[in-house]
Structure 1
Amino acid sequence: MPFPEGVPSVPVRYSINSPADGGPGEGTLQLMPTVPAIRVPGQEGVFTGGGTYRFVDGQLDNGAGDQVRLLPTNIDGANPAVWAWLGIEQINGQQPRHFYFVLDVDAEEVDLGAVQQLAPDLAQYLAVPGESAYDAWRRAGNDGDEADFLASLVGPPGDITAANEYTDEVVSEGIASEVQRADAAYDPAGAAEAAYTAAVDAASSDADAKAAIARDAAIAAAAQDADTKAGAAQSAAVQAAALAAADLYLPKAFLTVDAFMAQSGTKVFGHRGAGMVAPEHTEAAYDYAISHGIQAMELSVNVDSEGQLWCLHDLTLDRTTYSTGALNTYPSTGVANRVLTNGRVMLGQGWTDQPMVPLRRMLDKYLGKVVLFVEPKGNDAVVPLQNLLATSYPHAPASVIWKAHVGTSFTWPKQQGYRTWCYVDDGTTNATLDAKDPQVDYWGVSTSMSSTRRKEIVQRPGSKPVFSWPVYRRSQRAALEADGIVGLMSSDPVYVRGTTAQATASRWDQQVKESGGTPQADYNVDAALKFSETGGWASINRARATYGLGRYCPIIPGAGGYRIQIEMKYDQINTADLAVHGGLYFGKASDDPYEFNTINPSNGYHLILRHNGVLRLYRHVTTQTGGLQLGATDVGTDAPVAGQSMTIQVDVTPTTIEARRLGNAAWTTGPIADASYRGGYFGLSNGSITDVAARPFWRNLLITQL
């Protein structure tokens, strides 16, 4: 499509080579402005421009046999004055490549492969309005200049009529009053008459001049006073109208970042919404966190091929959905209608598939009601995110924290008034932190970082608050708080925030992961609890794995202690090694991870049931890998039968521990005098099993006070 007459353009060319043989390449080049539209002086409407072009014999082609032409980025008087072009190169068989560039209005022809490619430093890009409000007012049939247009904007709830009446009254009365005072001062009647006559006789021209000056000064003073008071009245009316309008659009309960941070105690934020309890970065995950009273959560953002922003942690759809490939290759309608998350893989097949959620929906739903950590994950999402916030959510800086890695720029968010959270790598140097410090409000450290290094960052000059991620255990919370961390980005925020048990009986028949479930690694499919399609059974499909049951912890004993009862089965018996076993661990003071036959961070007990039927109790301690057997002899029970349920009980009294397998009165260790540990945390264990086909299954957990 040719450019309108009078609109400058620059011819551009671009060539690509095939990655296979080095010959002419095939693919497309998408060219788009980094702002929604550009107003060109002397032209009606606005210019958007760009498009998607194919390569013919490796050369850029506009499809009509003509050379591709683009709008220069420095047209005199254009609005905005500074912007850039974004190019998205898609060579067949290769990942898309993004680059930014500018075009000089005086250039005769530009090879896009040779231009300087700019980093998307968004401080220099501005959003562009379309038709001005004044032009729209005139086009609607109104007459008058811009002053008339501005006057038309003032209305209820501010009372411009009252302001105008006040102005007229003040001007009228003020001028009349000052004229009267001037007349009285130079009134030829009465006592002033003699003076006036004498003045006329002596120097009438001088008296006339002085009278005129005095009168003019009085009139000017009165007029100025009236103008000032009228302006104040009009400003008050406009402000009242603006406040009333804002009240219509801003959330009723407005939670600012500063107000949230001023609250006492450790702050808990939702990581990926609540990504270890509900499918990450879905509306279900966000709703779960907020409905349980979490006041801050993370929104990771990426962009599709049409510039629509979606809540997504990865650049591709491979890990969290049933689709594959980069999000920026998908059209908006395809993402909205065809892409579904696969949270069932990690969180249980009882979950229904969730759709992707657009960022706008979450901003409209929660902006101002909770604090939002917003982070563009891909470089191509940065400009669209900044434009969206600047044009559609001007109040966002009050309740949004801009989240980004230490290696990215914080110039734009700081210029816009956002608080910033800069998260660092375990190996980030102090020199890097010093350079970034002026643009940072809060530092971020990972749970994998050493305690020593975390404390160093907490104690940096300036004492800026430090947050940590990803937190899904209460034991992590305790360690981080001891280091001075004041904010926790948690994938299970409701559990991490709490201190008490949430239930005493399992409902694994629902086939969904429960809050408080602590696998050995978060966001890990292999470590997750697996649910059988029938029967309500759960298992861990990983060699020697364990799974903490924090939902039921800490167990609160009765006066006589407590009982753990659970059904257990083996679907396959390892006939080659009947000594392999699975079971339970319990009595731990915290929910830190446990693994059989390793050095563990805290003490406790474990119960094993071998494939040959032998039942044993062990004490495990932090100083050695192997357990210490409790009781003098093994408890021999019938060998398990593949697929057949067995019921296990553990009684923990103030002074003794006893384990039994129900079905025979002889299948018990009897009460063993041991009061070493009485912690309230426990979990499931695959014990020594390395062949997951022979792993144990559990169901119908019940906690009872004794």
Structure 2
Amino acid sequence: MALPDDLPTVTLTGTYTHPDGSPMKGSVSVTPTPGKVVAADSGLTIQGRAKQKIDGNGHVTLTVLATDAPGINPENFTYEVKIAFPDATGDEFTIELPADAPNVQLPAITPASPSDGDYVVITGPRGLQGERGLKGDKGDKGDQGDAGSNADAEQYTDDALAAEITRANAAYDPVGSATAARTAAINTAASDATTKANNAQAAAISAAAADATAKANAAQSAAIAAAATDATSKAAGAQSAAISAASSDAATKAGNAQAAAVSAAAGSAAALYLPKALLTVDAFMAQSGTKVFGHRGAGMVAPEHTEAAYDYAISHGIQAVELSVNVDSEGQLWCLHDLTLDRTTYNTGALNTYPSTGVAQRVLTNGRVMLGQGWTDQPMVPLRRMLDKYLGKVVLFVEPKGNDAVVPLQNLLATSYPHANQSVIWKAHVGTSFVWPKNNGFRTWCYVDDGSSNAVLDGKDSLVDYWGVSTSMSSTRRKEIVQRSGSKPVFSWPVYRRSQRAALEADGVVGLMSSDPVYVRGTTAQATSSRWDQQVKESGGTPQTDYNTDAALKFSETGGWVSVNRARGTYGLGRYCPIVPGAGGYRIQIEMKYDQINTGDLNVHGGLYFGKASDDPYEFNTINPSNGYHLILRHNGVLRLYRHVTTQTGGIQLGATDVGTDSPVAGQSMTIQVDVTPTTIEARRLGNAAWTTGPIADASYRGGYFGLSNGSITDTASRPFWRNLIITQL
């Protein structure tokens, strides 16, 4: 149904082509803001949007109500215009469409650079009425119409060229690499094109004196229409209109000059064009050395997949993070690894049963359980927030974890983030489809199961840019995948130890998805004394299993004590490693206590392990992957030092006799020291000069990694507690 005849309308038209002249596909939609407009006299309510597809010739026409139509409430409203293309950047802007301008070229009102702001059509005054022409021999000459001047055409040309320069500077220079080439080319084209356009106009007027008015009007009309298009089309159209009226040779030369300018600017900047882009996938992968990505943000240092976890990693210089996403009952995407809320929040059930407002207002992550009660409960974060905050600034591995999240994610990226394929890697399991991301220009990372066959990998190979192997996969199989992948990089997950990094690099893996990326990336100690009183897990803390609450370090509510609530549990203190010795070696000093004494077996013990060359896990009375030492303090007060080796489960006692100390008292603090010199090792319990092993001659191992150990304790009620760790040089 058409609008009533008594209501003025405005017709929007436009033509959109690719650089080679082929028509573009897409649509134009117009939505009144506010969402409802009422024409009381006509009994008409106007709301929603008017939408028209661009036809097969790249042309679109859309007629809508004028924004200053009489009797309309609200008066002088505005429209939100959205121009969308499947293969190019669209535009969104707000305009007025007054009745004084019943025909509007869309390109004339479209912002030429990707900046925010409102754009309003302002109708200028009409030109003066020309004088009636003299009566000629063949009849009276008709009234002369509104006459444009050469200066008008020249001004459109100049304006168009100036707009091209502005657009190129604003849109194609995110890192400055294309500025020089673009400026030189456009300046050359501007000077040449302006001169040729002026000469061509003068030639056209001189050669066609009999109908000079008509030709000038035609040239002016063509210039005005061309100036309203994209900056490239504006200059070319204005030149073409003037030159075609004079000579084909001039038109060819001006067109060639303009094409050269556009080609130089576009060619030098095409690879970098991304609004606010600081880093693209290709630029990141071109960097030398092993790449470290944030697994679940930095999920073993901050609550996983929260804004705090992403901020931690990125603020510490990590240039790529993982965003796992799932969808709620209203189609909103949230950063979440699991399909349910059970593991990572205080809520239960599938996310897709919760409304968006409920998730935003009521669902909090429970990172305090694994990372310490010093944490404030963190809200879940919408995917849009992270895309708006970090898209283009860092590389984002985005993965839909549930099947129902796939299409919403595809639609979000295609419609709201058309340049996402420049800085987003589509991450997915080998059992899912990679057709859509590859067809839409995304790099893809396919991670495989430990048992995935070569036939399975072959079936995906043409759609995969990077392969993923797990840290649990055998070294032999990882090497096979690296070898068969050829030039395709291989990444591994989940990496939270430096020893894992060393093993993976030896296998040819070049990317590490790490839950503690700052620690894994580093090689030095970050501190020499503990601050466990903050009740927050530190970077570099390495439990026996990551993302496991039983293996996590536990913080007491008072006193700054920590413990490992796991039978024979241990906890690596990588934050303080590797220890840097002085000329005489180093000392580890720490307070220790037992809150409950195991009266049924006073031989059970806890203590420390130290002297290891790597941060691989340690467990008492077990074959361990690397050599070192361990100190034990039994519930009966016996102090001992042992050497542990990779060839046997039991330790090798250092020193001829046990060191008897007073039996521990439940809840009472004891201070232990270990001195490691270049040639000796000595352990002591402070409080009595006799409570020492004395210097024992042993220089077998001098690695700088150490940690806490529950030793032989299987009843966690009698486990040890520690506080006030201090590392000093000797």
Q: What is the TM-score with the length of structure 1 in the denominator? A: 0.72
* Equivalences for residues 671-682 of structure 1 within 5 A: 671-682=695-706
1:319-339 CA-to-partner distances (Å, cap 9, x unmatched) read 111111111111111111111
Query: Relative to 1, partners in 2 of residues 1:682 and 1:224: Cα closer, same or farther, differing over 3 Å?
Result: same
Deviation readout 1:353-376 (Å, 9 max, x if unpaired) = 011111111111111111111111
- Using the TM superposition, give the Cα deviation of residue 396 of structure 1 relative to its aligned residue in structure 2, in angstroms: 1.2
Q: 1:385 to 1:621 in 2, by over 3 A?
A: same
Q: Which residue of 1 aligns with 2:609?
A: 585
The answer for the alignment partner of 1:705 in structure 2 is 729
Partners of 1:669 and 1:135 in 2: how far apart?
Answer: 79
2:198 to 169, 173, 189: 169
The answer to whether the 8 Å contact 2:499/2:614 transfers is: yes
How far is the alpha carbon of 1:344 from its aligned partner? Answer: 0.4
Residue 529 (str. 1) matches residue 553 (str. 2): yes
Per the alignment, residue 677 of structure 2 pairs with: 653
In structure 2, do the counterparts of structure 1 residues 142 and 637 end up closer, same or farther at CA, with 3 Å as the change threshold?
farther
Query: For residues 290-439 of structure 1, what are the structure 2 equivalents within 5 Å?
Result: 290-439=314-463
1:138 to partner: Cα distance: 8.8
SS of residue paired to 1:460: helix
- Give CA-to-partner distance per residue, 1:209-235, whole Å, 9 cap, x none: xxxxxxxxx978814743773696599
Partner of 2:254: 229
The 10-residue stretch of structure 1 (321-330 or 159-168) with the greater mean CA deviation from structure 2:
159-168
Q: 1:605 to 1:135 in 2, by over 3 A?
A: closer
8 Å Cα contact 1:137-1:149 kept in structure 2: no
8 Å Cα contact 2:201/2:246 also seen in 1:
no
- Do residues 621 (structure 1) and 645 (structure 2) align? yes
- CA distance in 2: counterparts of 1:335 and 1:691, whole angstroms: 39
SS at match of 2:554: strand
**What displacement does 1:141 show?**
4.1
Distance in 1, Cα, partners of 2:447 & 2:106: 48
The yes-or-no answer on 1:667 pairing with 2:667 is no
| Partner residue in 1 for 2:22 | none
- C-alpha separation between the residues in 2 aligned to 1:542 and 1:567? 20
CA contact (8 A) 2:86 2:414 kept: no
Which residue, 268, 275, 279 being the options, matches 1:250?
275
Aligned: 1:452 with 2:476: yes
The answer for unaligned runs of 5 or more in structure 2 is 3-25, 33-51, 57-83, 116-153, 161-193, 210-242
Matching residue's letter, 2:728: T
Measured in 2, the distance between the counterparts of 1:137 and 1:281 equals: 39
Question: Which stretch of structure 1 is more off in the superposition, 465-474 or 406-415?
Answer: 406-415
Contact 2:196 2:250 in 1 (8 A): no
Deviations 1:205-261 (A, max 9, x none): xxxxxxxxxxxxx978814743773696599699999999x999822x520111111
Question: Matches of 1:695 and 1:479 in 2, distance apart?
Answer: 33
Tell me: CA distance 1:661–1:461, structure 2 relative to 1, closer, same or farther (3 Å): closer
Residue 459 of structure 1, CA deviation: 0.5
Give 3-state SS (helix, strand or coil) of 1:380's partner: helix
Q: 1:222 to 1:137 in 2, by over 3 A?
A: farther
Q: Which residue of 2 aligns with 1:556?
A: 580
Q: Distance in 2 between matches of 1:232 and 1:387?
A: 40
Query: What does residue 620 of structure 2 align with?
Result: 596
Number of the residue aligned with 1:99: none
Q: Post-superposition shift, 1:664?
A: 0.7
Paired with 1:80 and 1:680, the residues of 2 have a C-alpha distance of: 70
Instruction: Summarize the Cα distance change of 1:294–1:545 in structure 2 as closer, same or farther, 3 Å threshold.
Output: same
Describe the superposition over 1:457-505 as per-residue Cα deviations: whole angstroms up to 9, x where unpaired: 1001533100000000000000000000000000000000000000000
Q: Aligned in 2, Cα 1:228/1:412: closer, same or farther, shift over 3 Å?
A: farther
Determine the C-alpha separation between the residues in 2 that align with 1:622 and 1:307. Answer: 53
For residues 247 and 552 of structure 1, the distance between their equivalents in structure 2, rounded to whole angstroms, comes to 41
Report 1:74-85 matches (<5 A): none
CA distance in 2, matches of 1:570, 1:600: 26
Q: 1:235 to 1:395 in 2, by over 3 A?
A: farther
Q: Name the amino acid aligned to 1:620.
A: H
Q: Distance in 2 between matches of 1:378 and 1:298?
A: 16
> What is the CA distance between 1:133 and its match in structure 2?
8.2
- State which of 508, 515, 519 in structure 2 corresponds to 1:495: 519
C-alpha distance after superposition, 1:400-419 (max 9, x if no partner): 11111111111111111111
SS in 2 for 1:318: coil
Aligned AA (2:254): K
Q: Secondary structure at the match of 2:478?
A: helix
Residue 634 of structure 1 corresponds to which residue in structure 2?
A: 658
**Is this contact kept in 1: 2:372–2:555, CA < 8 A?**
yes
Three-state SS of the structure 1 residue aligned to 2:305 is coil
Of 511-520 and 298-307, the range deviating more from structure 2:
298-307
Write out per-residue CA displacement over residues 384-440 of structure 1, whole angstroms, 9 at most, x where no aligned residue: 111111111111111111111111111111111111111000011101111101111
Rounded Cα–Cα distance in structure 1 between residues aligned with 2:208 and 2:53: 51
Q: Within 2, Cα distance between the matches of 1:547 and 1:338?
A: 34
Give 1:575 shift. Answer: 0.5
2:212 corresponds in structure 1 to none
CA shift for structure 1 position 163: 6.1
- Write the letter of the residue equivalent to 1:271: H
User: Structure 1: which amino acid aligns with 2:626?
Assistant: S
Q: Is 1:509 aligned to residue 530 of structure 2?
A: no
Amino acid at match of 2:449: D
Deviation of 1:309 (Å): 1.1
Per-residue Cα deviation, 1:533-585 (whole angstroms, up to 9, x for no partner): 00000000000000000000001111111110000000000001111000000
Q: Report the count of equivalent residues.
A: 554
Partner deviation per Cα, 1:298-333 (whole Å, 9 max, x = no partner): 111111111111111111111111111111111111
Secondary structure of the corresponding residue to residue 598 of structure 2: coil
Distance of aligned partners of 1:44 and 1:366 in 2 relative to their CA distance in 1, 3 Å threshold: closer
Query: Distance in 1 between the 2:267 and 2:544 partners?
Result: 54
Q: Residues 685 and 80 of structure 1: is their aligned pair in 2 closer, same or farther, counting only changes over 3 Å?
A: farther
Secondary structure of residue in 2 paired with 1:310: strand
- Could you say if the C-alpha distance between residues 133 and 276 of structure 1 is closer, same or farther in structure 2, counting changes exceeding 3 Å? closer
The percentage of counterpart residues that share the same residue type is 78
Q: One-letter code of the match for 1:450? A: S
Distance 2:335 2:402 in 1: 12
Q: Which amino acid aligns with 1:162?
A: D
State the Cα distance separating 1:176 from its structure 2 match.
6.4
Instruction: Select the residue among 310, 322, 325 that pairs with 1:286.
Output: 310
Task: Label 1:618 to 1:311 Cα distance change in 2 as closer, same or farther (>3 A).
Answer: same
Aligned residue in 1 for 2:106:
149
Task: State the one-letter code of the partner of 1:628.
Answer: I
CA gap of 1:229–1:532, structure 2 versus 1, over 3 A, is: same
Over 3 Å counting, the alpha-carbon distance change for 1:638 and 1:230 in structure 2 is same
Distance 1:494 1:555 in 2: 18
2:503 is aligned with 1:479: yes
8 Å Cα contact 1:322/1:341 also seen in 2: yes
Residue 287 of structure 2: aligned partner: 263
Question: What is the CA-CA distance between 1:178 and the residue it aligns to?
Answer: 7.8
Query: 1:582 touches 1:696 (CA, 8 Å); kept in 2?
Result: yes
How far off is 1:143 after superposition? 3.8
Give the whole-Å Cα distance in 2 for the aligned partners of 1:227 and 1:144: 34
Name the CA distance, whole Å, in 1 between partners of 2:708 and 2:97.
72
**AA paired with 1:558?**
G
The amino acid of 2:247's aligned partner reads A
